[in-house]
Amino acid sequence: MADVSERRAFSTVNLVAMGIGTALYAAFNVFFNLFQLPGTQLVALRPSVCIPMFFGYVFGPVVGFVAGFLGNAISDAISWGGFWWNWDVGNGLLGLIPGLAFYLIPREEIFRRRGYVICAILAVVASVVGMGFSAYTDYIFGYGVSTVEEATYALFIPAALTDAINGAILAPILVAAYSAAARGRARGA
Amino acid sequence: MPAARFIRYVEGNSPVHRLDPRAKLTFIFFLILSLTLASSLIQVLPLLIVSLLFYFSARLPWEKTRGTWAFILAALIVLSAMNYLTVAALYGGEGESLASRLTSPETVLRAVIPVIKLLSLAAATATLVFTTPPNMYAPALGQMGLSYGKAYVIQLALRYVPEFVAELRKTLEAQMARGFRPRGGKNPISRLLAIVPLVVPVTVSAALSIYDIADAMELRGFGGEECHTWYRKLRMSKLDKALVAGSVALGATYVALQVLETLNLI
């Protein structure tokens, strides 16, 4: 498999990966945006959070960030017609943090068991950091939320918890499935 | 299905439709900056008026925007009620009764200001989306100084969203042909959950196609070092320049207000 760490962050492959990751995340979110969690403030249950995590882990942190950021902005624009910038950045962090695997483990490990465990751990960290950023910037900048308790109980906990569970389970499965498929097609992963 | 039909773009000939997308993006940037810095009702209200003026100048037909407003108003009602009740329940003077907390002007203001901010943000961003053709975002960003490769990411993403939605349907039908039966019938939640098993096959197949697309693009000259031009050349009219100047002035005003507040000069 090709040594992805040597790729430039904005090579043609990575630019296409950003576009495809964005489109995939947006396409799935259009369906999952309908699935609002009761008792929260417009937090949707999204198994699709594994998509920016997967793109970050496989193609690098910049690809993951762009896939999460733009994918969320486009899906919001399709679902209701506008967008919230801080939730877009939070979704970008969902993709950026798993991309840090590029700097944490050797490249030959990313498609092995140790890599899958690190992918699951990074998915949980990304969910906590990304959704924490979005929820608490809603409070700090006063976008619809007046109290830190609301930001915690109605935004942060439901969003971070569901994203962490979905990400920790689905992101390593996606990485393993991609690794097997890429090997089968004799393509670089 | 073209992206223009997928994204909520509404054709029209209003002054906002005719604006250069670069001017609209600049306006949104400075409006977000101002909303982020605004902290009191007197600072937030002018921004709401500016946002609503932007929205109404677009003369968008009600039947096309009804869904958006239903979403925004539902969000505002839920958020207002939650804000009002949590502020009243959790904050207030010691020994103060719940009734007096509920009627205190401070509670009402603290509950209402974030909701006004959210309404301003929603109205402005929705106007941008409704009045800007999807194929204009990449040329606009490219002509604002972003390199053509990075700007092209948006073009690629918008081109592939409808294809992946179609791919989702096709994969579901293929799985059903092999015996997969999504449960739920007319239950909308069960129908949504039927999409979960599609995440892995559709994502892996899309990720594998990245190399083929990149090869095809490079064979057509993408990624060369030479200067690339945009087919859609944008030109700023007087109205665009006025909007850009107004947006910068708006942002500068709120930055100045913030500095003066920090220094306790106002």
- As for the ipTM of the complex, it is 0.84
Residue A50 DSSP SS3 = helix
User: For residue A65, what is the domain's CATH number?
Assistant: 1.10.1760.20
Together in a domain, B136 and B153: no
Q: Does B48 touch chain A (CB under 8 A)?
A: no
Chain-centre distance for alpha carbon B87: 28
Residue B131 CA to residue B200 CA, distance in Å, equals 35
Question: Closest by alpha carbon to A155, among A73, A95, A84?
Answer: A84
Asked whether the predicted pLDDT for residue B125 surpasses 80, the reply is yes
Asked whether the predicted pLDDT for residue A6 surpasses 50, the reply is no
In a domain, B225, yes or no: no
Together in a domain, B157 and B207: yes
Angle subtended at Cα B137 by Cα B54 and Cα A51, rounded to the nearest 5 degrees: 110
Q: Which residue of B has its CA nearest to A78?
A: B7
Together in a domain, B113 and B17: yes
Together in a domain, B36 and B17: yes
Together in a domain, B188 and B105: no
Q: Do B160 and A23 touch (CB under 8 A)?
A: yes
pLDDT (tens digit, 9 = 90+) per residue, B191-226?
666 777 888 889 999 999 999 999 999 898 887 766
In a domain, A25, yes or no: yes
Asked whether the predicted pLDDT for residue A5 surpasses 50, the reply is no
Q: Do B68 and A80 touch (CB under 8 A)?
A: yes
B:127-146 residues touching chain A, CB 8 A cutoff: 128-130
The nearest CA of chain A is from the CA of B236 a distance in Å of 24
Asked whether the predicted pLDDT for residue B51 surpasses 80, the reply is yes
pLDDT (tens digit, 9 = 90+) per residue, A137-172?
988 988 878 888 888 988 899 899 999 999 999 999
Residue B168 CA to residue B170 CA, distance in Å, equals 5
Q: Which residue of B has its CA nearest to A182?
A: B208
Q: Does B71 touch chain A (CB under 8 A)?
A: yes
In a domain, B122, yes or no: yes
Residues of B in contact with A88 (CB under 8 A): none
Average pLDDT over chain A reads 87
Q: Average the pLDDT over B94-120 and give the result.
A: 81
Residue B262 has a pLDDT of 87
Domain count for chain A, please give it: 1
Q: Which residue of A has its CA nearest to B40?
A: A142
Residue A131 CA to residue A34 CA, distance in Å, equals 19
Together in a domain, B17 and B128: yes
How many CA atoms lie less than 13 Å away from A173 in the CB half-sphere? Answer: 18
For testing the chain B interface, which of A4, A10, A12 should be mutated: the one with the most B CBs within 10 Å? Answer: A12
Q: Cβ distance A101 to A58 under 8 Å? A: no
In a domain, B240, yes or no: yes
Confidence of residue B167 (pLDDT cuts 50, 70, 90): confident
Residue A36 DSSP SS3 = strand
Asked whether the predicted pLDDT for residue A136 surpasses 60, the reply is yes
Asked whether the predicted pLDDT for residue B92 surpasses 80, the reply is no
What is the span of the domain harbouring residue A76? Answer: 4-184
Together in a domain, B10 and B32: yes
SS3 for B178-191, per residue? CCCCCCCCCCHHHH
In a domain, A143, yes or no: yes
In a domain, A115, yes or no: yes
Q: Of B82, B123, B207, which is closest to A178 when you measure between CB atoms? A: B207
Q: Does B214 touch chain A (CB under 8 A)?
A: yes
Residue B159 DSSP SS3 = helix
Together in a domain, B63 and B95: yes
Q: Do B8 and A24 touch (CB under 8 A)?
A: no
DSSP state, B227? P
The nearest CA of chain B is from the CA of A107 a distance in Å of 18
The nearest CA of chain B is from the CA of A128 a distance in Å of 22
Together in a domain, B154 and B135: no
What is the span of the domain harbouring residue B75? Answer: 3-140+234-262
Domain count for chain B, please give it: 2
In a domain, A189, yes or no: no
Residues of A in contact with B117 (CB under 8 A): 141-144
In a domain, B224, yes or no: no
Q: Does B166 touch chain A (CB under 8 A)?
A: no
Together in a domain, B173 and B252: no
In a domain, B34, yes or no: yes
Q: Does B160 touch chain A (CB under 8 A)?
A: yes
DSSP state letters, A62-111: HHHHHHHHHHHHHHHHHHTS---HHHHHHHHHHHHTGGGHHHHS-GGGTT
Together in a domain, B75 and B10: yes
Q: Do A15 and B153 touch (CB under 8 A)?
A: yes
Residues of B in contact with A174 (CB under 8 A): 199-200, 203-204
Q: Does B207 touch chain A (CB under 8 A)?
A: yes
Residue A44 DSSP SS3 = strand
Residue A169 has a pLDDT of 92
Together in a domain, B95 and B203: no
Tokens in use for B123?
């109205």
Asked whether the predicted pLDDT for residue A1 surpasses 60, the reply is no
| Long-range contact pairs involving B172-175 (C-beta distance under 8 Å, separation at least 24) | B172/B198
Q: Do B82 and A41 touch (CB under 8 A)?
A: yes
